[in-house]
A and B are shown apart, each in its own frame.
Chain A
């Protein structure tokens, strides 16, 4: 005999099960009973039965065998059975199942039932799970209900219509007229539904939006009524009259006012009124204010109103409620580009939010703070950001470090400040910085020659105190290898000098070499640095020889290879050692974009792990198709011209790379810096067509080296975008195109684009260059070529 418990007893029995196993036992028994009951004839307990199954389903157990029962119950004339049947359908069925088709007919019938609560069940189910076919089938019925029924049904029909439009977009047109007339209703539920429906229609169809703009005055009137009206018990929430409806109307106004002066004007006064009069002591008032602010900022509002809106956000920032502070920041972030100065006024408060306990608030504050950094506030902002970095949650460290680097790069007031800032980040969060930080910093240090002494001192001290932060240690090793002689001199202008011996310096490097904390790449840096010191110290070269010799049998293949090569440098190539290990020249960046771009990161990953490379094996940056095009371009003329990869080499070819991977990596990675400016040279116009002018100037760099500067200008009345130059030269000539200053040429010569090309002509062939010019103007693409046969010499 199978137990048959009423619903609540079953729930009690399940809850009192002490183990998962016991619970499963109860459920199995109950499900068996339920199944048996389903098979029996109508016995008056069907709704209890189905309800039990729904409970079991909510616990996570399978209940698909109840689907047909739902269908049967829905078709029942009894309200209690319909109610549970429809609930079951919504819980167990979805539009993908065949069973859901079977209820279409019941829904259709129930939509015109004489009892509104039965109609309501059908409407509810349709809006919840109506499939596209069901929607198409029943749309006319819904439209009918939208026009002729009581408020209770109308409000539900409106939301059904919303669901239908979401499922079958073209049915929107059907409901537009009814939606329009519903705006005249007084019932708030119906009004709310109408506003939601109109919003949906406008969002989907721009023509519909145009037509509904005429309703702006009506919407303004309704809002006014809500804002000014006295206390309405039916709709009051903490002194605000129907905040739900207010928010929806504000959202609709936003959509209607966007990009439209007339509509925005029509709602201006109302928005000002809502912004000023809404009580902001409770969340509900702030919800309305928040929506108002969003609307003001999105439409074409008067500047006074905009300022009002931003000030509301400013007040929100000071609110005790964390939620309010959070949404203030998300909103400010959205407008930091367009209303930068207005947001800057609240910078202090935003920076304070960096110290908030809540992780979400902290994240927003970080993003917003980074967006607010400028040349004028860089020093004070960086203090705050570095403070934040030292105590921020782990999940934000990478973002903070990256943001700090970007800000430092853009606004560094001095080189020393820049270097100090990067070092500070590496000390605090060295493990969370991106890979290219190391080569970027090395490049920065190399190019700041006046600070070499200062930098190597700082890094040496950092190395002595902590060798766990790999990026910092790598840079320190590299610096010591390069500038160790400055350490030994015992004098420094910018900072307290150290009094060290050669052994001290070698000790520091050897500690890194031997430490279990050092990553393989770091050890590579240390070994190479040790080797470099062999030309910078005088007494202890033998010590270096022995270190190098020992590592020649190191288990790490990378270190072994280096050591063997350095050994060879000592033994067989000692006459070259000084030249090979000499000071690095100023490195020039040559790939486009700022640091931390995607391409730079990929380039690093290709080159890591540290491998000694010939300086020439660099990644070509032009995609194959462009290469082919240039070949086509250069068709059958005299010498076959050959395009060179954009990344060229300026280092001499060496048997052993002087700075391990650092030198090679740097060339691959770096981008964005303008190369050192040339002294003015004679310019010649090489191209002038369609309003675009290209001038060329060149300057001899060496016996075989020439730097060419191309300058483009646009004298037409339309802006030019995607302006690019490609160049091809005779085969034996090496070509290296630097990053252009930009790719847009504004109209009427408002700005120029310059691009430098480094040429190396060791065979001294007749130098020619074919240039292909491509750009977009007024939506069309243009392309042209020009050949330059002679270069003005400086």
Chain B
């Protein structure tokens, strides 16, 4: 996997994870291109696009677009499952996750992602294990150090 982007229907970026080193300017360009391309798609289109030498897998969940770029030899259908798994993890953690959760707790979204994927590959295939690890890390933060504010609403 090369990168994962989350953006709203208005094209506002909510999360960006890059799995290969890319200069800042290039990242901005890619984000613009992805949002333009994906937002232009018809409602019941195929979830796969071709862009340069990559395959772009995208899926909309409520008001958020998840956009994952994979190499040509990777499995598109599995990539859809990867996106879905990440959404499930967020959902379990936040309880009926919505875009606002990810906006106000973006660092948590990253922490969860970092327990699921690593270096562009799947790190843990069990949902329960990922959830348990996040909870333990959170606990570590709370018990050992000062309290980091939980979602306030």
Contact = CB atoms under 8 A, between A and B. Distances in A.
Interface stretch (B61-69, B89-97, B106-114): B106-114
B108 to A, nearest CB: 10
Interface residues of A, number: 72
B125 A322 contact: no
B112 to A, nearest CB: 12
B70 to A, nearest CB: 12
Interface stretch (A104-112, A352-360, A430-438): A352-360
A577 interface: no
A248 B46 CA distance: 24
Contacts of B149: 6-8
A58 B16 contact: yes
B30 interface: no
- For A6, A96, A159, the residue with the greatest tally of chain B CB atoms inside 10 Å of its CB is A159
B10 interface: no
Interface in B27-55: 28, 42, 44-50
B81 to A, nearest CB: 5
B75 A290 contact: yes
22 contacts: A7-B149, A11-B103, A44-B146, A51-B107, A55-B106, A79-B141, A79-B145, A83-B111, A87-B110, A94-B22, A95-B21, A115-B140, A120-B137, A128-B119, A152-B133, A156-B123, A159-B121, A188-B126, A196-B121, A284-B77, A294-B75, A327-B77
Given A84-B107, A244-B125, A163 B119 contact: yes
B44 A79 contact: no
B137 A83 contact: yes
Given A8-B149, A54-B107, A58-B106, A327 B48 contact: yes
Interface of A: 6-8, 11, 15, 44, 47-48, 51, 54-55, 58-60, 78-81, 83-84, 87, 94-96, 115, 117, 120, 123-124, 127-129, 152, 155-156, 159-160, 162-163, 188-189, 192-193, 196, 234-235, 237, 242-245, 247-248, 251, 283-284, 286-287, 290-291, 294, 322-327, 357-361
Contacts of A188: 124-126
A323 B104 contact: no
Given A162-B121, A244-B122, A327-B77, A83 B141 contact: yes
A597 B111 CA distance: 54
B28 A60 contact: yes
Contacts of B49: 360
Contact of B81 (A117, A156, A245, A284): A284
Given A8-B149, A188-B126, A234-B126, A127 B118 contact: yes
Contacts of A284: 77, 81
Nearest to A189: B124
Contacts of B137: 83, 117, 120
Nearest to A282: B81
Give the 5 A-B residue pairs with the shortest CB-CB distance, closest first.
A287-B77, A127-B119, A163-B119, A159-B118, A287-B78
Interface of B: 13-16, 19, 21-23, 28, 42, 44-50, 75-78, 80-82, 103-104, 106-107, 110-111, 114, 118-119, 121-126, 128-129, 133, 136-137, 140-141, 144-146, 148-149, 152
Most buried by A among B50, B106, B126, B144: B126
A358 B46 contact: yes
A55 B109 CA distance: 12
A326 B107 contact: no
Contacts, number: 158
A357 B44 contact: yes
B145 A237 contact: no
Given A283-B77, A283-B80, 7 more contacts: A11-B103, A58-B14, A120-B133, A163-B119, A286-B77, A290-B75, A360-B45
Contacts of B23: 94, 96
B151 to A, nearest CB: 8
Contacts of A359: 45
Contacts of B42: 357-358
Contacts of A283: 77, 80-81
Contacts of A152: 133
Contacts of B14: 58
A270 B112 CA distance: 35
A376 B6 CA distance: 50
Nearest to B148: A80
Contacts of B144: 78-80
B19 to A, nearest CB: 8
Nearest to A166: B119
A8 B152 contact: yes
Contacts of A245: 125
A660 to B, nearest CB: 42
Contacts of A47: 148
A323 B46 contact: yes
A358 B28 CA distance: 29
A656 to B, nearest CB: 51
Contacts of A243: 78, 81
A287 B145 contact: no
Contacts of A95: 21
Nearest to A196: B121
A606 B49 CA distance: 37
A83 B14 CA distance: 19
B111 to A, nearest CB: 7
Contacts of B126: 188-189, 234-235
